Chain A
């Protein structure tokens, strides 16, 4: 249906012409899912934009052949292309918050998509819109038509986007990172939905993503993209079972996969960075990062070689060696051993490992929110009676959907806000009465987005040393010496000292952020999604670094993440948060093998692992999270709970604390009033 041959995209930049896509070939058949997977800067998004003819101004698209249903797109005039776009081929973008026009109603935008292309009446268009909204799982579809995009949550907006793309019944759907901005629970729903709709409408689907787990679950065929070119293409099972290209093998070793990498063990990493795409690349683009590169890799043009049934790899390594390399993850672990003795040793702690360093005692944070002008303010319980110990030298994972209060909790622990009630004890003493500087000395943050965490106008040396200067802990020379020690410690080259953040890559910036957090030698580091803005190969390096530092200096981490695979890899204990409450706290083994709270079970079911046999999970968390301004009575989870019982609707569950951990659920409460039906439910739950 779609036939692409030797597609190139060039972008003019001040430094020269950037060859973002360098001659790729592929076809997509009807009803097939073709995944393009690659890291940022690999050219995958520009490929999808080039297909739609939506490249940024100045970008040049060239191809030997670009045909959609035997129609040549290269010679098509812009207005004819516009007839095709949104009609026969449609696209879903990553960012549901900005892809809908905020001043038009949802219904207006949906109907417009159909009225633009097909001779139908507005009434028919409206019926189609309602039908599709219902089909994509938007509750109460007819009433949604009059709503504006800001009245919908992120997950709903993404569904509306999908419905809009489907209005004309396209033959080809291009989805660019359709689930990246969403929670795991919603991600599973959207992927399931795409899969079902594809079967129903018999569309071709091109899915562009960086997430190997998504690829494994939905793809029929996969193309791995690196530096503007496909380095390996093949059926999904082949790619995941027998990856042949070193880059694909490296990526597979970077993702923490349960059962493959031991928890807390070193993850594989791909050293180095993507080469500059300005100018031509001779030989293999990956050779400077490849542990198997040999002399021939530097010369000539390397073509995609046929290595198996429909399986191609752009590599000169002999097939037998490539196959052997796939089974040796240790080849990817030759990472820097950077933790050396510091000039001044880390202070030895009096406390024994395992003692609580931070204790949260019924901590609550309530914000007053006005729902609309002139209405009375109502309380929003962002954090609701949280009791938690964070023990010396442990990694405590904190998971939950967005909006559950994770970040508010982090802010309380950093001393940025004082809890409305309850208190936080640091080494047994109330922390907030000591003031921010005291807290800063012992608890430091590492934020999610390394682009926002470093002041773009300050040098790296200043940024890392700033805590010492603000606290007046050291003179200028001493600060500089300690900064240089830490630059070494986090594995950065000394020359970054005078660089500005925009001269560093994302991974390097995150290392700077970690160095800054460590310079005052705190006890506790609060990592708020420390790797979710990073590429897979960089994520594994940062996780390795965090674990090395944690062991070396017996640091305590609170690791906030929505990526359950990362939490499973890193954390000793895990706390699960739902609508401001901790619903389950237990150690890693218990949580991942035997989750007790239905919410934890549902989260684990939605989480994707890179297993091509598992298919798209059936999401159990059917409805969307309730409005935190108006939490349901009884157990807040009961409207979404598959095992909800009669009294879940009315009674708050007690906290059950036993040797298997802590859980807040009626199913596990032996003393709760029990009907026969409940008893049955409890037995089946056990």
Chain B
């Protein structure tokens, strides 16, 4: 808490610690005092609630098409252009098959979040395992893992994803797996460095001297100390996965219609971009908000968990 290392060593005595706010209180204060984290958290919470409660809040069935009611413009066309077709029935209008755009956006949040979380978790598990093992053991193991990481870094994500999807066909599961198996490099690099640093600490030596297994040391001694960095990388990779899914879907190789993915909606809206630009704007903004929120949370977590990293 204090400003110099010397002070840090001697000052936090018991008398002071008891009168000062507890660690939990300090953390809460820092979390709620961080503007970016609060804004990001709020947006993500709204989007997550939207996704969870989609059947309850969506005004229409996202798959119900009505060709008589195609390309209804959103409600603000009524306000600004006096377009009589824009009504409160379809707040965000309808797409080229006459499906309610708002409902599709709400359901699309499910796809984006599902892909973001699953891909981040799969890649997190792979990357963490490789990184922690490499950093902890060093030597030959490290050389091998480093080779794997370099190989992975040399592969262009989009092209490999395209190739796999082209070979295996595309479905939600395939997209999740492809992204999960491609995005672990950041996890591995960061975890490897941190594990190498943690290995030098005497508490690790002490656990080795106790006869603890390497598995125990990595899981119980090292992992709790690198969890904050793990969370930060996880947010970055989540945002990354969501964007990549959108890109793949845009190219027609990701989630397949009629599933309401934001990337797919962007792709379908591109034909109408000159006549109905709102069609591409709405899913684009949704994507922007989600990715921005996740990145804000990532930055916030980094600041909050390491007080000295805050400018």
Shortest CB distance B178–A (Å): 35
- Distance between Cα atoms of A188 and B56 in the complex (Å): 79
Considering the chains assembled together, what is the distance between the CA atoms of A340 and B310 in angstroms?
A: 48
- A421 proximal to B (CB < 8 A): no
Q: Does A149 contact B (CB under 8 A)?
A: no
- Bound state CA distance, A470 and B207, in angstroms? 9
Whether A277 and B17, one on each chain, are in contact in the complex, defined by CB atoms closer than 8 angstroms, is: no
In chain A, residues 13-54, which have Cβ atoms closer than 8 Å to a Cβ of chain B? 13-15, 18, 20, 39-41, 45-46
Interface of A is mostly: loop
Q: How far is A455 from B201 in the complex, measured between Cα atoms in Å?
A: 9
A440 contacts B3, C-beta separation under 8 Å = no
B10 and A440 contacting across the interface, CB-CB below 8 Å: no
Question: Do B202 and A11 have beta carbons less than 8 Å apart?
Answer: no
Q: A445 touching B225 by the CB < 8 A rule? A: no
Contacts of A39 in B (CB 8 A): 10
Q: Is the CB of A276 within 8 A of B203?
A: no
Scoring B residues 215 to 241 as 1 if CB is less than 8 Å from chain A, else 0, what string do you get?
Answer: 010000100110000000000000000
Chain B residues lying within 8 Å of A437, measured Cβ to Cβ, are 210-211
Does chain A have a CB within 8 A of B306? no
The answer on a CB contact under 8 Å between B203 and A505 is no
Cβ of B203 and Cβ of A40 under 8 Å apart?
no
B16 pairs with A40, CB closer than 8 A = no
Known: A416-B205, A444-B209, A470-B211. A56 touches B4 (CB 8 A): yes
**A458 to B, closest residue via Cβ:** B224
Q: Which of A452-485 contact B (CB under 8 A)?
A: 452-458, 463, 466-467, 470-471
Residues of B close to A45: CB separation below 8 A: 4, 6
Q: Is residue A535 contacting chain B, with contact meaning CB distance below 8 A?
A: yes
Closest Cβ–Cβ distance, residue A54 to chain B (whole Å): 12
Instruction: Write out the residue numbers on chain A whose beta carbons fall within 8 Å of the beta carbon of B208.
Output: 416, 436
- Among the stretches A80-88, A126-134, A495-503, A620-628, the one at the interface with B is A495-503
Do the beta carbons of B12 and A416 come within 8 Å of each other? no
| A274 CA / B2 CA spacing, docked (Å) | 14
Q: Are B210 and A274 in contact (CB under 8 A)?
A: no
Out of A56, A276, A453, name the residue touching B206 (CB < 8 Å).
A453
From B2, B206, B209, give the contact of A436 (CB < 8 A): B209
Residue B10 contacts which of A454, A467, A470, A505 (CB distance < 8 angstroms)?
A505
Given the complex of chains A and B, what is the CA–CA distance between A40 and B11 in angstroms? 9
- Check A493 against B14 for contact (C-beta < 8 Å): yes
Residues of B within 8 A of A455 (CB): 201, 203, 221, 224-225
In the bound complex, do residue A470 and residue B3 qualify as a contact, i.e. CB atoms below 8 Å apart?
no
Contact A40 B3 (CB under 8 A): no
- Say yes or no: A447 contacts B202, CB within 8 Å: yes
- The reply to whether the CB of B68 lies closer than 8 angstroms to some CB of chain A is no
Is B159 located at the chain interface by the 8 A CB criterion?
no
- A415 on the B face (CB < 8 A): yes
B82 beta carbon closer than 8 Å to chain A: no
Give chain A residues whose Cβ lies under 8 Å from the Cβ of B211: 415, 435-437, 439-440, 470-471
Any A CB within 8 A of the CB of B20: yes
Contact check: which of B209, B224, B225 meets A415 at CB < 8 Å? Answer: B209
Give every chain B residue within 8 A of A470 (Cβ-Cβ): 207, 210-212, 216
Q: Which of A273, A414, A454 contacts B203 (CB 8 A)?
A: A454
Q: How far is the CA of A503 from the CA of B221 in the complex (A)?
A: 19
In the complex, which residues of chain B have a beta carbon less than 8 angstroms from the beta carbon of A674?
Answer: none
Are A11's CB and B209's CB within 8 A?
Answer: no
Q: Provide the bound-state CA to CA distance between A335 and B64, in Å.
A: 83
Query: Of the candidates B1, B6, B200, B206, which one forms a contact with A14 in the assembled complex, judged by CB atoms under 8 Å apart?
Result: B1
A506 within 8 A of B: yes
* B23 close to chain A: CB less than 8 A: yes
Q: Are B209 and A20 in contact (CB under 8 A)?
A: no
Residue B140 is within 8 A (CB to CB) of chain A in the complex: no
Closest to A454 in B: B203
Known: A277-B7, A457-B225. Is A440-B12 also a contact (CB below 8 A)? no
A259 close to B (CB within 8 Å): no
Tell me the bound Cα distance from A471 to B224 in angstroms.
Answer: 21
The closest CB in chain B to the CB of A39 belongs to: B10
Task: Give the distance in Å from the alpha carbon of A455 to the alpha carbon of B221 in the complex.
Answer: 7
Specify which of A41, A436, A447, A500 is in contact with B7 (CB 8 Å cutoff). Answer: A41
Within the assembled complex, what's the spacing in Å between the Cα atoms of A489 and B14?
A: 19
Question: How far does the alpha carbon of A451 sit from the alpha carbon of B10 in the complex, in Å?
Answer: 12
Q: Which residue of A lies closest to B10 (CB)?
A: A41
Q: How far is the CB of A656 from chain B (nearest CB, A)?
A: 35
Tell me if A449 counts as interface (CB < 8 A to partner B). Answer: yes
A58 near B3: Cβ-Cβ < 8 Å: yes
A277 to B3, CA, bound (A): 12
Taking A58-B3, A416-B205, A453-B202 as contacts, is the C-beta distance between A273 and B10 under 8 angstroms?
yes
Closest to B29 in A: A14
Contact partners of B216 in chain A: CB under 8 A: 470
Task: Tell me whether A59 is interfacial, beta carbon within 8 Å.
Answer: yes
Assess whether A503 is in contact with B12, with CB atoms less than 8 Å apart. yes
| Cβ distance B226 to chain A, nearest Cβ, rounded Å | 10
In contact, A447 and B206 (Cβ under 8 angstroms): yes
- Which residues of the partner chain B approach A59 to less than 8 Å between Cβ atoms? 3
CB neighbors of A among B16-48 (8 A): 16-17, 20, 23, 26
Can you give 16 A-B contacts (C-beta < 8 A)?
A15-B2, A15-B20, A18-B7, A40-B7, A41-B9, A274-B13, A415-B209, A416-B208, A416-B209, A440-B210, A455-B201, A455-B221, A457-B225, A458-B224, A493-B14, A504-B12
Other A-B contacts than A415-B209, A453-B201, A455-B224, 8 sampled, CB-CB below 8 A, are A14-B26, A15-B2, A40-B6, A277-B11, A435-B211, A445-B209, A458-B224, A470-B212
Q: Which 3 A-B pairs have the closest CB atoms?
A: A437-B211, A436-B211, A41-B10
Measured CB to CB, the residues of B under 8 A from A are 1-4, 6-7, 9-17, 20, 23, 26, 200-203, 205-212, 216, 221, 224-225
Could you tell me which A residues sit within 8 Å of B by CB distance?
11-15, 18, 20, 39-41, 45-46, 56, 58-59, 273-274, 276-277, 414-416, 435-437, 439-440, 444-445, 447-449, 451-458, 463, 466-467, 470-471, 493, 495, 499-500, 502-506, 516, 535
